[in-house]
Amino acid sequence: MDILLQSIVTGVLLGGLYAIIGVGMSMIFGIMRLTNIAHGDIMILSSFLTMFFMQHVIGNPVAALLLTIAVMLVFGFCIQHFLINNVISKGDEPALLVTFGLSIIVSNGLFLIFGPAARGVPTELIRTNLINANGISVSSMYALNFVVAVAVIIALSLIMGRTSLGRGIRAASSDTLMSELLGVNTKRMYVYAMLLTVTTASIAGMLVGMTFTFYPTTGTQYLIIAFGCVVIGGMGSLVGTLLGGVILGLAQLVGASFLGSAYQQLIGFLVLLVILAVRPQGLLSKAVRK
C-alpha cells in the first residue's frame, strides 16, 4: 500500500517535470502547427549550458539559468527567423524535417564539445527530502520541479491570455491573413512564441539536469516524453500539458511499482501509443482531428 502511495506521489511530482518539458512543444504546436523534433535537444542544450555556466562562470544556479536563457533566446531567434519561418508555409513536412536536422546538429554538437560522459547540474536538493513521514518521502527536487512547473504554466497562461503579446500570438495562429491585415507581423509573432518556448525549455533543462544525469543524446528520450504530455493533454493546451505530464508520470511509476522499475519507461511509451491510437486529439480536447 505504502509503495503504491509513494508511487502515486512521486508520479504526480515527476509529471510536473514532464509538463514543463512538454509545455514549450505544446506552444509551438498550438501556434505554428509544427512538431518541433529538436525540442528535446534544445532542452538538453540548456542543461549543458547551465552546467557549464555553473562550473566555469558563476556558481549561483539562478544566475547561471539567466545566462542560459540569454544564450537560448539568441539561439531561438536564429532558428525561428532564419530556418523555420522560411519553411513553415511550405507544408508540414519541410518544417518537420528541418527540426529533425536541427536535432541531429544539436545533439552531435554537444557530443563533440562535451563528449559522451554522463553529466549533471550540481545540487543538494536531490539528496534531501521535503517530507519524510509514514513511509512516504517527497524529494525536495521533485517538489521544486512540480512547483516551478505549475508556476511556469500559470505564467504562460497569463501571458497568452491577458497580454497584448499573447493576443497577437493567438491571433497569428488562428488567422494569419486577418492578423496581417490588422498590422500584426505574424512571422514576428512566431519568433516571440519560439522565444517563450526556449525560455521554458531552459528552465526545464536546468531542472532535468538537477534531477537526472544527462548525455548529449538524451534529448530524443525527452522529446518523446514532451510529445506524450502534449498528445495526452491535447495539442496546444497549456493546462492540458500539465495533466498530460501527470498522467504519464503516474503511468510510469504506478506501472513500475507492479512490474519493476526496469519497465518504467516502456510502460510510459506503451500508454502513449495506446492513447495515440485511440484518442489522438488528446484526452482533454474536444476537437476532432483533421
Partner 1 sequence: MNGIFSKGPAGMAGPAWHARRIAPIAVLAVLVSLAFWGSDYLLSIMILIMCYMAIGQMWNLLGGYAGLVSLGQQSFIGLGGYTLAKITQVYHLPVILAFVLAAVISVLFALLISIPVFKMKGVYFTIGTWIVAECLALFFSTWSFSNYAQGYTITATYAFSTAQIYLVALAVGVGALIVVMAVLRSRLGLALMAMRDNAAASEVRGVEQYRTKLKCFLISAAVTGIAGAALYLNQAFIQPANAFGISWTVSMVFIAIIGGMGTVEGPIIGAVIFVLLRQALYNFPGISMMLLGLIAIAIIMIAPRGIMGIIRRKTQFEIFPVRRHPSA
Partner 2 sequence: MISEKEAILTLDGLNVSHGDLQAIFDVSMRFPRGKIVSIIGANGAGKSTLLNTIMGVHRPTSGTIAFEGRDITGARTSGIASLGIAMTPEGSRVFEDMTVTENLLMGAYLPAAKRKRGEQFEKVFSMFPMLKEKSSQLATFLSGGQRQMLAIARAIMMDPKLLICDEVSLGLAPVIIKDIYRKIGEINETGVSIILVEQEVRRSLQHSAYSYVMAKGRIVMEGASDALPIDEVNDAYFGINRFA
Which residues contact partner 1 by CB under 8 A?
Answer: 35, 37, 83, 86-87, 90, 92-94, 96-98, 100-102, 104-105, 108-109, 111-112, 220-221, 224, 227, 231, 262-263, 265-266, 269-270, 272-274, 276-278, 280, 289-290
Compute the least distance from the CB of residue 94 to partner 1, in Å.
5
Query: Which residue from 153, 133, 119 is spatially nearest to 16, judged by alpha carbons?
Result: 153
Compute the distance between CA of residue 254 and CA of residue 8 in angstroms, rounded to an integer. Answer: 6
Among partner 2, partner 1, none, residue 213 binds (CB under 5-8 Å by kind)? none
- One-character DSSP codes across 191-247: HHHHHHHHHHHHHHHHHHHHHS-B-TTTHHHHHHHHHHHHHHH-TT-HHHHHHHHHH
Among partner 2, partner 1, none, residue 167 binds (CB under 5-8 Å by kind)? partner 2
Taking a C-beta distance cutoff of 8 angstroms, is the pair 84, 34 a contact?
Answer: yes
Among partner 2, partner 1, none, residue 109 binds (CB under 5-8 Å by kind)? partner 1
Compute the distance between CA of residue 243 and CA of residue 111 in angstroms, rounded to an integer. Answer: 33
Closer CB to partner 1, residue 14 or residue 102? 102
Question: How wide is the angle at C-alpha 157 spanned by C-alphas 189 and 184, nearest 5°?
Answer: 20
Compute the least distance from the CB of residue 5 to partner 1, in Å.
26
Among partner 1, partner 2, none, residue 177 binds (CB under 5-8 Å by kind)? partner 2
Among partner 2, partner 1, none, residue 170 binds (CB under 5-8 Å by kind)? partner 2
Whole-Å CA distances, 279 to 111, 202, 235, 268, 274 = 37, 30, 12, 16, 8
Closer CB to partner 1, residue 41 or residue 67? 41
Compute the distance between CA of residue 246 and CA of residue 233 in angstroms, rounded to an integer. Answer: 10
Compute the distance between CA of residue 85 and CA of residue 31 in angstroms, rounded to an integer. Answer: 13
Closer CB to partner 2, residue 33 or residue 167? 167
Compute the least distance from the CB of residue 248 to partner 1, in Å.
12
Residues contributing to the site for partner 2 (CB under 8 A): 164, 167-168, 170-171, 174-175, 177-186
Compute the least distance from the CB of residue 33 to partner 2, in Å.
15
- The gap between the terminal CA atoms of the chain, to the nearest Å, is 43
